[in-house]
Amino acid sequence: METTKCLIIGSGPAGYTAAIYAARADLKPVIYEGMQPGGQLTTTTEVDNFPGYPDGIDGPKMMEDLKRQAERFGTITRWGMVVGIDTNKRPFKVSIDDGTELMAETVIIATGATAKYLGLESEEKFKGGGVSACATCDGFFYKGKNVAVVGGGDTAAEEATYLANIVNKVYLIHRRDELRASKAMVNRVMKTPNIEMVWDTEVKEIVGTESGFIKSLNGAILVNRKTGKERKIDIEGFFVAIGHKPNTEIFKGKLDMDEVGYLITKPDSTATNVPGIFAAGDVQDKHYRQAITAAGTGCMAAIESERFLGEQK
Ligand code: NDP
């Protein structure tokens, strides 16, 4: 059976950065790209906040470049999903969805997290044309315009206050009459004059125009859950902030995770509770969720993986 010194699961900025560092450390990493090669950034158009690209870069192009950079130093990239891992014994036995198995002396988990959406047909239609799940990534496009944020947690509160600095007005739409966010965040929201709270409200539909491939959102129809009354708001951006789901199904019961499923890593480290298994990027980060922070932890995981192997000798 094939044995690799370093197996990387997932191919977003965390996975590829881990691969660049592991390959340059001569670990000859094998990376399984997963269901969405390139990760969440391949669903973004312009990435304007990754340092080093003064004119911005296309999300898919950036991921292609990261992949080429990883391969330049000898990373082996493969299509396929890791579907099982035995964490009890090192090297770890790993199963792939095509039925193959391999042994890994160290594993870097970079499987990311998936943003949750409301599930409306109209929401799907305007994804990339006004509907976004990341204010830091896309807020800039709505300078001086009106936008809506849906959700009542810390992410929604944070996104609303972030957007309020850029846009004309933010409607913060929540399904209940009380935010779930921390007191400090609630205070910030309430003190921001251009955020209008829309309580007890669900989104019925997102509306806009379509001309060929060009979609442009111009409003949303809301329903008050208590009165049943409908209201239309004029907006050009619609930000969904109802939580993320970390992609950690296959590690349940094997690695320590929090109640939502985010992998728990040691402070100032990417080490999980199993020696030799590291976690990088959004799969262990519910706070920042940025490409640059994912890349940073990917680098950490590769360095820790190399050091771990050195200590085993
Ligand atoms: P949360 O799960 O905390 O909040 C999700 C919000 O979305 C809730 O208000 C929920 O409503 C609402 N919601 C869920 N599903 C739907 C739906 N289908 N339709 C409408 N509304 C819906 O997720 P967050 O991403 O906000 O936060 C995740 C974790 O990360 C939390 O622990 C949070 O504290 C932490 N975090 C911390 C930050 C910080 O400290 N700076 C920043 C961001 C996140 P309801 O309240 O009714 O359930």
Q: What are phi and psi of 166, to 5 degrees?
A: -110, -45
CATH code: domain 2-114+244-312 is 3.50.50.60
Q: Could you confirm whether 134 is annotated as catalytic?
A: yes
Distance 181 CA to ligand 1 centre (A): 7
Distance 202 CA to ligand 1 centre (A): 15
Which listed residue (26, 58, 65, 134) is catalytic? 134
The one-digit pLDDT tens for each residue of the chain (313 residues) are 999 999 999 999 999 999 999 999 999 999 999 988 888 787 666 788 899 999 999 888 999 999 999 999 999 999 999 999 999 999 999 999 999 999 999 999 999 998 899 999 999 999 888 999 989 888 999 999 999 999 999 889 999 999 999 999 999 999 999 999 999 999 999 999 999 999 999 999 999 998 887 889 999 999 999 999 999 999 999 999 998 899 999 999 999 999 999 999 999 999 999 999 999 999 999 889 889 999 999 999 999 999 999 999 7
Q: Could you confirm whether 138 is annotated as catalytic?
A: yes
Judge residue 180's burial from the number of C-beta atoms within 10 Å of its C-beta, 0-12 exposed, 13-18 middle, 19 or more buried.
middle
Give whole-number Cα distances, 118 to 122, 124, 209, 239, in Å. Answer: 10, 9, 20, 11
- What is the CATH topology of the domain spanning 117-240? FAD/NAD(P)-binding domain (3.50.50)
Which listed residue (137, 154, 282, 285) is catalytic? 137
The CB-side HSE value for 218 (13 A sphere, CA atoms) comes to 6
Task: List the strands of the sheet with 214-224, edge to edge.
Answer: 201-211, 214-224, 230-233
Q: Could you confirm whether 6 is annotated as catalytic?
A: no
* pLDDT tens-place string over residues 12-52: 999 999 999 999 999 999 999 998 888 878 766 678 889 99
Q: What is the pLDDT of residue 214?
A: 84
Ligand 1 binding pocket (C-beta < 6 A) is 118, 150-156, 158, 175-176, 180, 242-244, 286-287
pTM equals 0.78
Burial 93-131 (b: 16+ CB within 10 A, else e): bbbbeeeeebbbbbbbbbbbbebeebebebbebbbebbb
Which listed residue (6, 98, 138, 258) is catalytic? 138
Q: What is the pLDDT of residue 268?
A: 96
Q: What is the pLDDT of residue 215?
A: 86
Q: What is the pLDDT of residue 136?
A: 84
- What is the location of CATH 3.50.50.60 in the chain? 2-114+244-312, 117-240
Q: What is the pLDDT of residue 313?
A: 79
* pLDDT tens-place string over residues 221-266: 999 999 999 999 999 999 999 988 999 999 999 999 999 999 999 9
